[in-house]
Amino acid sequence: MKAIMTSTGNHLDSKLDSRFGRCEFFVVYDTESGSVEFIPNPNKDLKEGAGIASVELVASKNPDLIISGEFGPKIKNLLDSLQIQLVVIQDTERKIQNIINLLNH
Amino acid sequence: MSIELLFIIFVSDKCSIDIVSPKNKILRRVVNPPPVKGFKPYGPNPDLRISEPVTLFYEEYEAIRLCDYDGLNHELASIEMGISRPTFTRIYAGALQKLAVALVEGRQISIGGGQVYFDTQWYRCLGCGCHFNHPNKDQKVTHCPLCGHLHFSPIAENKSPIHLVEPGTGQRREQGVTDE
């Protein structure tokens, strides 16, 4: 299974970014191979349409799961139609390493 | 129905749109998007395979799914889609007509478009406290996708973490402040 998380930094001790479209980094984690990839978000400074542009970027990775602190209504509908499962974590103090550990349940 | 008559209906429809702006349609809620983009006829006649497709809107697909696949009546199905019962019946009748045209004339069916938004049921995991949704309604939810916990509770629609805010009205920021 491939999961994408939003991160505030580019290392495993970074915290989860509570925004989806304007997060600092996307983290692509593959539960089978255990590989972790950090992708800087090119859309974080966009005034409009950051969410949709980020969905395009994320969808190109074919994830099964997206984990973030918040999803806007526009992209939520888009992700629903792409059949990607969403997970909302309200506790933004969580670290990426912690979420990866949870995913390896 | 002859082609001339269809053309007249089409033109008169267009004209009325130009003269009086129609009321904005309420977006219809679609819970489960179709598994395929459409259908193609097969058989010995090769012309049919490249025939002009009939476009079945998402709301029409959803109407057929709720009514004939899930076996709901029009009243319950209309509540499910967030529209009135007469509107539902109208959409359903349109859907059947399109399917009939496709079957009789051997046309392709492409599913897409329409005035819809997609929505899924949300759950709250009792293990890690996260909220998650479930895009494919045909598969049963068995565990939390994050921590694998087997216990979770469904969230009522108006309490889902995302549905509280409307797009583009600046409410989201205020929402964040009140949450803190």
Residue A48 DSSP SS3: coil
Residue B32: the pLDDT is 73
Same domain, B89 and B138: no
Interface-testing mutation among B131, B155, B162, with chain A (most A C-beta atoms within 10 A): B162
Residue B9: the pLDDT is 63
CATH number at residue B93: 1.10.10
| B178 occurs within a structural domain | no
The alpha-carbon gap from A78 to the nearest alpha carbon of chain B, in Å, equals 7
A28 at the B interface (CB within 8 A)? no
The alpha-carbon gap from B53 to the nearest alpha carbon of chain A, in Å, equals 22
| B39 occurs within a structural domain | yes
* Cβ contact, residue pair B161, A88, below 8 Å: yes
* Cβ contact, residue pair B119, A77, below 8 Å: yes
Chain A: residue nearest B123 by CA? A87
Residue B67: the pLDDT is 92
End-to-end CA gap in chain A:
12
Residues of chain B with pLDDT under 50: 158-180
- DSSP state at residue A82: T
- What's the mean pLDDT when you consider all of chain A? 86
pLDDT band at A105 (very low <50, low <70, confident <90, very high): confident
- Total domains present in chain B: 2
Same domain, B40 and B52: yes
| B20 occurs within a structural domain | no
C-alpha angle B176/B177/B180, rounded to 5°? 90
* Cβ contact, residue pair A73, B147, below 8 Å: no
Structural domain of residue A37, as residue ranges? 2-103
Interface-testing mutation among A20, A83, A92, with chain B (most B C-beta atoms within 10 A): A83
How confident is the model over A46-90, as pLDDT tens digits? Answer: 888 888 888 888 888 888 889 888 887 778 778 877 888 888 888
Structural domain of residue B112, as residue ranges? 26-118
How confident is the model over B52-100, as pLDDT tens digits? Answer: 899 999 899 999 999 998 889 999 999 888 899 999 999 999 999 999 9
| B146 occurs within a structural domain | yes
How many residues does the structure list for chain B? Answer: 180
| B84 occurs within a structural domain | yes
- Total domains present in chain A: 1
Order of strands, sheet of B109-111, starting from the edge strand that comes earlier in the sequence: B38-39, B109-111, B54-56
Residues of B in contact with A87 (CB under 8 A): 130-132, 145-146
CA B20, distance to chain mean position in Å, is 27
Chain B: residue nearest A104 by CA? B147
CATH number at residue A7: 3.30.420.130
